[in-house]
Structure 1
Amino acid sequence: MEIKKVWAVFFSPTGGTEKVATTVAQVAAKALCAAYDTYDFTLPQGRENEVVFGEGDLVVLGTPVIAGRVPNLLLPYLKEKIKGTGAIGVPVVSFGNRDYDDALMELRNIMEDRGFQTVAGGAFVSEHSFSRKLGAGRPDEKDHALLTEFGEKIGEKIKQGWVYSQPAYVKGEEPIRPYFTPRDRHEGAIDIRKVKPVTGESCCNCGICAEVCPMGAISRDDYSLIPGICMKCCACVKKCPTGAKYFDDGGFIYHKEELEELYERRAEPEFFV
C-alpha cells in the first residue's frame, strides 16, 4: 500500500496534543517517503467544514484526554465531519499524568466508524490542562524519543506489507467506561461541569483569551464574560500574558490540588503497533 501523504490532525488548546500528533506524523512521513500536512481543528472555524481523507492518506488523529475519555464536546465533530473513506488511521491521545483510561480505545472506535483502517495507536503525556506541575514540560526529550520510535514503527509496519484485517489493538475497556468523576475525601462527587474562569484586575483587554478559546465561549465585547460552554482546557488561563484568567471555584481548586498530590510522578506513554 502506497502512502502519498501523512496528515497530523489535532485538537490542541495548549499545544501538547499538537506536539504529539505532528511528531509522529512527521517521522512516519519521512519513513514512508511521503508528503506531510496538518489540519488543526482546535478553534471553532476549524470544525465548520467536513474533512475527507481517502486511500493513500495516513492520518494521525490526536485529541487530549478529559476525564479519561475523548472530550465529549468534540464528539459531534469527530462523528459527523471527519471521514476516512479507506485512509489508514492512527489514533493518539495526550493525557495529563493521571491516566488515559478508555480515551485511546474510544478514539480508535470513532476512527473505525468513520471509515479509517487503524494500524496503530498511542497515548502520550502532556502538561495537565489544570496544572503547571503535572506533566510539566512534557512531551520532553525522553517522550520525543518514544514518539520517534512510534512513528518509525508505523512506517516500517506499512512498508512491510501490512494489510488491514481488524481494528488496531489498543488498551482500554469495552463497553467504554463513564467519564472519570472527581471526588472529595468523603467520596462525594465534585461537579465542575459548569465552572468557568474569572477575570482579575490585571486584565489588559488584549483579547488573547477570546482568540484562543476552542469553544468560542468568551465574549468579544467583554472578555470577563463567558456566555458559552467552558471545557476547562485552560487555554485562556495559560496563554493570558498578565495572568488575569484563573479559576476560583472551591471544587475546581480542590480537584486540582488532589490531582497534584496524587499524581505528581512520571507517568509513562504507551503505544501499540
Structure 2
Amino acid sequence: MNIRRICALYFSPTGGTEKIARFVTEELARHLGGEPAYVDFTRPENRQSEYRFAEDDLLVMASPVYAGRLPNKLMPVYASSIFGSNTPAVPLCVFGNRNHDQALRELVLLLEGNGFQIAGAAAFAGRHAFSDKVGTGRPDGADLEQMRVFAAKAAEKLSKDAPLPPLDIDRSEIGPYYTPLKEDGTPAKFLKAKPLADPGKCVHCGTCAQACPLHSIDAGTLEAVGLCIKCQACVRRCPKGARYFEDADFLSHVSMLEQNYTARSENQLLL
C-alpha cells in the first residue's frame, strides 16, 4: 500500500489514551515515513466536523474504555463523524487495568462499518482514571516495547502491495456494558454523580471548565451543571487538587477496583 498520510484521532480526557495513540502513531510513521497529523477528539469543537479519509490515508483511532465498551456518549459521535473509503486503520483501546471487555471488538466493527480496513488492533492498559493505585505506571517499559512490536508488524502488513485480509475476530452482536460494583459486590449506581469543588482549595482558575470534554462545568460558577461521564478530566487536571467526588457508590466502586485490580493486566494485540 502507498500510505500518503497518517492521522491519529483520539479521545483522551486525562491524557493516557493520547500518550499511547501518539506513541503508536510515531512508531508507524517511523516505519512508513511521513509526518503524522493529530486530531484531539476530546475537544468539543473538534467533534463538530466530519472526518473523511482516503484510500491512501492511515487512521490510528484511539478511545478509552468505559465500563467495558466505548464511551456511550461518544459512540454515536464516532459512528457519525469518522468515515473511510477502503482506508487502512489501526484501532486502539486503552483500559484502566481491569479489562477492555468488548471495547476493542466494538471499535473494530465500527470502523469496518464506516469504510475502513483493519491493519491491526490493540488494547493497552493504562493508569485507571479513578485511582492511581490501579494500573500504576502503565504504560511501562514492557508496554512500550509491545507497542513497538505491534506497530512494526502493522507497518509490515501495510507496506505490502496487497489488500488487507479481514481481522480474525468475533463479529457477533456487542453485549451490554459492564456493571460497576461496590465493595460488597452489588451494583454501584453513580450515573448522577457530579464532581464538587473544595472552596478552600479552588482559586477559580477555570482549568476544570476548560478541561471538561462535554462543557458540563459552568465557566462562571465552576459548578458541574451538565452531563458528567466521570472521565475525571476536571479532577486530574485541577492544579490545586480542588475537584473531587463524594458520591458513596462511586467511592465504593473505586475501593473495589483498588482491592481487586492492582495486579498487572495483559494487553491484547490483534494482527
Aligned equivalent of 2:244, options 240, 243, 246: 246
* CA distance, structure 2, for counterparts of residue 9 and residue 22 of structure 1: 9
**1:1-273 superposed matches below 5 A:** 1-166=1-166, 168-170=167-169, 174-184=172-182, 187-201=185-199, 202-223=201-222, 225-273=223-271
Per-residue CA shift, 1:120-160, capped at 9, x if unaligned? 10000111111111112221222111111111111111223
Partner Cα separation in structure 2 for residue 144 and residue 187 of structure 1: 34
Where 1:72 maps in the other structure, the secondary structure is coil
Counterpart contact for 1:43–1:216, Cα < 8 Å: no
The root-mean-square deviation of aligned C-alpha atoms, in Å, is 1.4
How far residue 169 of structure 1 moved from its aligned partner, in angstroms, is: 2.9
Q: Report the Cα offset of residue 185 of structure 1.
A: 5.2
Counterpart code for 1:127: R
Q: Distance in 2 between matches of 1:26 and 1:184?
A: 39
Letter in 2 for 1:244: A
> Structure 1: any 5+ residue segments left out of the alignment?
none
Contact 1:65 1:100 in 2 (8 A): yes
- Are the aligned partners of 1:12 and 1:64 in contact in 2 as well (CA < 8 Å)? yes
Unaligned 5+ segments in structure 2 are: none
Give the superposition deviation at 1:184: 3.4
CA distances 1:56-84 after superposition (whole Å, capped 9, x unpaired)? 11111000000000001101211111111
Instruction: Determine the C-alpha separation between the residues in 2 that align with 1:89 and 1:99.
Output: 23
Are the equivalent residues in 2 in contact too, given 1:8–1:37 (CA < 8 A)? yes
Q: Segments of 4+ in structure 1 off by > 4 A?
A: none
Give the aligned residue type for 2:217: I
Cα distance in 2 between the residues matched to 1:60 and 1:162: 20
Corresponding letter in the other structure for 1:84 = G
- Tell me how far apart the structure 1 counterparts of residues 155 and 30 of structure 2 sit (CA, whole Å): 8
SS of the counterpart of 1:93? strand
Report if aligned partners of 2:196, 2:244 keep a CA contact under 8 Å in 1. Answer: yes
Asked whether the equivalents of residues 64 and 95 of structure 2 are also in contact (C-alpha less than 8 Å), the reply is: yes
Contact 1:120–1:169 under 8 Å retained in 2:
no
Q: What SS does structure 2 have at the residue aligned with 1:146?
A: helix
SS at match of 1:205: coil
Counterpart-to-counterpart distance in 1, 2:185 and 2:255: 16
Identity of matched residues, %: 39
1: CA distance, partners of 2:29 / 2:262: 35
The TM-score with structure 2 as length reference comes to 0.96
Q: Structure 2: how far apart are the matches of 1:148 and 1:219?
A: 41
The alpha-carbon deviation at position 20 of structure 1 amounts to: 1.3
